[in-house]
Structure 1
Amino acid sequence: MTTQTVEQRFQALRLTLKPIEFNSIEFLVAKAQQIEAQDPELAKRILVRVTNLKKQVASDKLKGSADTEEKEQKKGESNKAKVESQKKEEQKPNNQLSELQSTFNFPLLTFFTRKPFIALVIIPTLIFAFYQNFWASERFVSRAQVIVQQPDGMATMDTSMALLSGLGVPSSGIVDTELVKAYILSNDMLVYLDETISLREHYSHSSIDYFSRSDETDSWEDFFDYYLTRLDVYIDSNSNIVHVNSQAFDSEFAHQLTQAIVQRAEWYINSIGHQLANAQLEFVQQEHLNIEQRLQQSQTELLNFQQRYNLLDPLAEGLAMQQITYGLEGQISAKEAELKGLLGIMNARAPQVISAKNQLAALKQQLEKERTKLSDSQESVIPVSEILAKYTDLKVKMEFALQAYTSSQISLEKSRIEAYRQLKYLIVVESATKPNESKYPDVFYNISLFGFVLSMIFVVVRIISLTIHELR
C-alpha cells in the first residue's frame, strides 16, 4: 500500500475517534496493538502519532516550571482558547469527512448533495428518455366505428295487439350502444379473443420490452386488467357511434384484433335480435292460441244455448212466440167470457155450452204447449226476457272474441315475417384499419410529462426540507 493510502486510512480513523481519545497516548498505543495484525502500516502511523504526543508532553513539562506564573495569569484565556479549540476540533472531523468524501470515498453522495436537481431530475429524465427512444416497444393502433340499428317494431303488429302486449316499442339507441361497449370490455370477449387469435400469447411475447408486455405467469384477472389498458372504447354522444381502438405490438395483429372484436360484437347484437324476435313470436302465438280457444268456447256456448231451446234466432222467435201466447191468452179470456154468458142462459149440457168448453180447453192446451217451448230440461218455465238476456250476453261475448281473434291473426302473420328479420343489427361505419406506423409510445409527450412531474416533486420536497431547516 502507498503512503497516501495509509494517510487516508489514518484520517478516516481519526474521524471515528473523539478528541480526547485521539490525544490519549495510552488509548492510541492500545489501538495500534489491536490493529497491528490486520494493518501493520496503519499501526505504525498511529505510533508516530504517539511519539509526537510524547514529545509534546515532554516539551510541556520543561516549560512548565518557567511558565507557571504566566500560565496562572493566562489561565482564563487558555481555558477559553481550549473551549474554542475543542469546538473547532469537533467541527474539523465533519469538514475533513466532507473533504475526504468529495476527494476519495463518496463522490456520488457528494454529487447528490451539491447538485440534487441534476441528480434527482435531469439524470432520471435522461434515463427515461433513453428507454422511450431505444428500448420501449412500438404499439400500433387499429380503429373501427360501428353503430347499432333497430327497425320500427310497431309496423309488425296490429295497433290494438301492440298496445295490449307492450311489444313493438323500439328501445333507446343509447342502451344498445352501451350494451356493445360493455360486451367488448367484458371477460367473455377476452376469452373469445384468446381462443381465436391467441391474444395472451401476443401480449406476453419475449420480443416486447419488460415494462410493456404481460407476464405469462400472471393470473387471468391481471391479464384482463392488462387487456383493458390496451383497448379504448367510447361512444359519440351526438351520433351514438361506437369507436373501437385496439393496441398491439404488430400492425397486422392490431388489424386482426380489431376485426375480431367487430365480428364478435356483430354476432352478439344479432343473437340478441333473434332472441327478441323469437320471444315476440312465441308471445304472439301464445296470445293467438288463447284468443282462439276463447272464440271456440264462445261459439260452443252459443250453439249449445240455441240447441237447448231449439231456437235459431231467439230474438225473432221469442217475439213471435210471445205474440202467439198473448193471442191465445186473449182468445181464452174471450172464450171464458162467452162460456160464462152461455151458462147463465143455458143448461150445462147444452150443445153450445159443451162446444164452448171444448174450445176453451183446446185454447188452454195450446197455450200450455206454447209455454213448454220456453222451458228448460227441468221443465221449469223461463221467461222470454231471461232467454233474450242470456242469448245477448253470449252473442256479445262471441263477437268480442271474434274481433280479438281477427287482430291476433293479423299480428301473428306479421310476427312470423318479422321473426326472420334482424330486430337489432350492427352496421360497420368504418372497418378495422391497418396502421402503417406506430402511435405509441408518444416519446415527446411521455418525456415532457415525466420531467415535469419529477420537477414538481423535487420543488415540493425542497420547499419542505428548507422549511424544516429554518425551523430548527
Structure 2
Amino acid sequence: MSQQAVNTIEQRFSELHKKTSPEVWNSADELIKVSQQLEEEDIYLARRVMQRVRILQPKRPKIKAELKRLSDLVALHAKQTQISSSTEKNTTTEPTKTTKTTKTAKPNSVNVFSKKLSDNPNIKSWTKPWVLLLLVPFILFAFYQLVWAAPRFESRAQLIIQQPDGMATMDPSMALLSGLGVGGNSTADSEIAKAYIHSEDMLNYLQTHNNIKEHYQNGGDVFSRLSSDASIEDLLKYYVDHTTVEIDEASGVIKILAQGFTPEFANNLTKTIVNRAEWYINSIGHQLAEAQLKFIRLEHAKVEQRLRDAQKSTLAFQQKNNLLDPEAEGLALQQITYGLEGQIASKSAQLKGLQLTMTNKAPQVVMLQAELDALKTQLEQERSRLSAQQGINDSNTKNGEAAVSEVLAQYSDLKIELELALKGYTSSEVSLDKARIEAYRQLKYLVVVESATLAQDNKYPNSLYNILLFAVLQLMLFGIGKIVLATAKELR
C-alpha cells in the first residue's frame, strides 16, 4: 500500500475520532460495533478501528482472528481494485497496439493460464493437510467397508440352567431339614457356563469336531481372517472375539452368538457349543453329587460296621455267661439276698424267744438254730455270687465263673457301646438321606430355549455404523490437532 493511501486512511480515522464521543472511543465493545458498521462502507477504516480495539485490549479473545479476517478482506479488495484498473487500462489502448499484443499473447496466455491454474483454490485444496489426514483415509476405509470387507454371519442360541423341583416330591419336614426351599445361585451357574464356553477346553473340542482354525484362516478378507502362523493363544483370542455370550441377570437366560464366514459354519458351531455346554453342566452336577454321596456312604458304612461289632460283642458276652439279660439276673439275685436276710431276721427272733423258755439242747431250739445257720450260709453264697472276684474256688461257686457285679459292669460297657453305635447309625441314616437330597438339589440341567439359528443375511461388518464412527473419530482427532497447533502458535 502506498504512503498516500496510508495517509488517507489515517486522515479518515482522525475525522472519525473527532466525530466520536470519548466514551465510545475508549470502549472496546463500542468500537467493535463501529467497525462492524463500517465494514460494508469502508473496509480500510473498519480495519483501522479494529487495530484501535487491539491496542485497548490486547488480550481480548478472538481479537486477532477478527483483525486477520479484516486484513484478508482488505487484501482481497485491493486485488479486485487492481484487476479492475488494469482491465480499464487495456480497453483504452490503441488498435495497432492491441493487434500487436494479440500476436504475442499466445505464449503469454499459456503462462497466465498455468498461473491461474496454480492459483485455483480448488486445485490447492487437494494438497492441504486436512485432505491427506481426513479425506484420503476416509475414502480408503469406506471402500474397504463397502466393497472389500468379507461378510460375517451370526448364529444365535438361547439357553437356561434349571434345577429339579424337589419340593414337589419330598416330605415337608425333610424339605426344611435339607433347606431345599432356599433358591440357588443361578447367576453363578450362568457365569460358570460362560467361562467354559470361552475356555481353551471348549476351543480344543471345537477344533476337533469343527476345525475352526482352518475356517478362520481360509475365510474372510486379508484384514478379518486369522493369520496363517497363529498360535493357540491367537486362535483362542480370535474365537472369543467372534463368539459372544450374554447373560440376562433377571431371567438367567444365556444367549450365545457365534460368527462365521458362512451361515452353515456359524450354525454348526453354535450347535456344537450348545451340546458341549450341556454335557459340561450336567457332568459337573453329577460329579459333585457322586463325590458327596461317596463320602457320606463311606462314613455310613463305618458307623454300620461299628453297630454290628457292638451287637456281636454283646451276643458273644451273653452266650459266654449263659445270660439273656445280666441286669435282670442281678436284680433277681438281689431279691433272693434280701429275702434270705428277711428270713434270717425272722428266725433269729424266734430263736431268741425259744431260748428264753427252753434250753439250748431242746429239739426246737436245735432245729431252729440249724435252719438259721443254713440261711446264713446261703446268704453268704448269694453275696459271693454278687461281689466275689473271678476265679474264686468255693464250694457253691463254679471254678472260673465271674461274679455278677463284674458281669453287670462288663455288660453295662457293652450296652453303652451298643447304644452309642445305634445312635450314631440313626444319625448317619439321617445324614445319608440329607446327602441324597442335597445331591438331588445339585443336579442341574441345561435347557435349550432357542435352538441354533441359520442366518440369511450377514450381520457384520456394519458398514454404515463403522464409516460414521470412523468419520467422527477422524474429526475429533483433527480438531484436537488443530487446537494443539493453534495453542503452540499462540504461545510462541
Does the pair score TM above 0.5? yes
TM-score (norm 2): 0.64
1:445 maps to 2:457: no
SS in 2 for 1:461: helix
What is aligned with 2:192?
A: 179
The Cα shift of 1:214 comes to 0.6
In the alignment, which of 290, 294, 297 is matched to residue 285 of structure 1?
297
TM-score (norm 1): 0.66
| 1:426-469 CA distance string (max 9 Å, x none) | 10100110000100000110000001101100011011111111
In the alignment, which of 415, 423, 436 is matched to residue 400 of structure 1?
423
Which letter maps to 1:122?
L
Native 8 Å contact 1:309 1:373 kept in 2: no
What is aligned with 1:215?
A: 227
Native 8 Å contact 2:327 2:408 kept in 1: no
What is aligned with 2:54?
A: none
Q: 1:356 to 1:160 in 2, by over 3 A?
A: farther
* Range with bigger deviation, 185-194 or 306-315: 306-315
1:140 maps to 2:181: no
The Cα shift of 1:232 comes to 0.7
Which letter maps to 2:143?
F
Unaligned regions of 5+ residues in structure 1, if any? 1-98
Native 8 Å contact 2:313 2:414 kept in 1: no
Native 8 Å contact 1:152 1:168 kept in 2: no
| 1:374-401 CA distance string (max 9 Å, x none) | 4574655629996896587456436525
2: CA distance between counterparts of 1:397 and 1:260? 55
SS in 1 for 2:334: helix
Identity %: 49
| 1:136-190 CA distance string (max 9 Å, x none) | 1101010100111122568899999999999998742112111100000111111
Which letter maps to 2:405?
I
Q: 1:164 to 1:389 in 2, by over 3 A?
A: farther
1: CA distance between counterparts of 2:322 and 2:284? 56
Q: 1:132 to 1:405 in 2, by over 3 A?
A: closer
2: CA distance between counterparts of 1:302 and 1:165? 35
* Range with bigger deviation, 122-131 or 362-371: 362-371
| 1:330-385 CA distance string (max 9 Å, x none) | 11222234445555665555433432332123212332343355457465562999
What is aligned with 1:25?
A: none
Q: CA RMSD in A?
A: 4.0
The Cα shift of 1:126 comes to 1.2
1:250 maps to 2:262: yes
Once the two structures are superposed, the pairs formed by residues 427-446 of structure 1 within 5 Å of their partners are 427-446=447-466
What is aligned with 1:203?
A: 216
2: CA distance between counterparts of 1:264 and 1:410? 32
* Range with bigger deviation, 285-294 or 380-389: 380-389
Native 8 Å contact 2:288 2:442 kept in 1: no
Q: 1:242 to 1:389 in 2, by over 3 A?
A: same
Native 8 Å contact 2:242 2:258 kept in 1: yes
What is aligned with 1:367?
A: 379
Give the count of matched residue pairs. 366
| 1:106-158 CA distance string (max 9 Å, x none) | x9x9757x633232112211110000011011010101001111225688999
* Range with bigger deviation, 355-364 or 146-155: 146-155
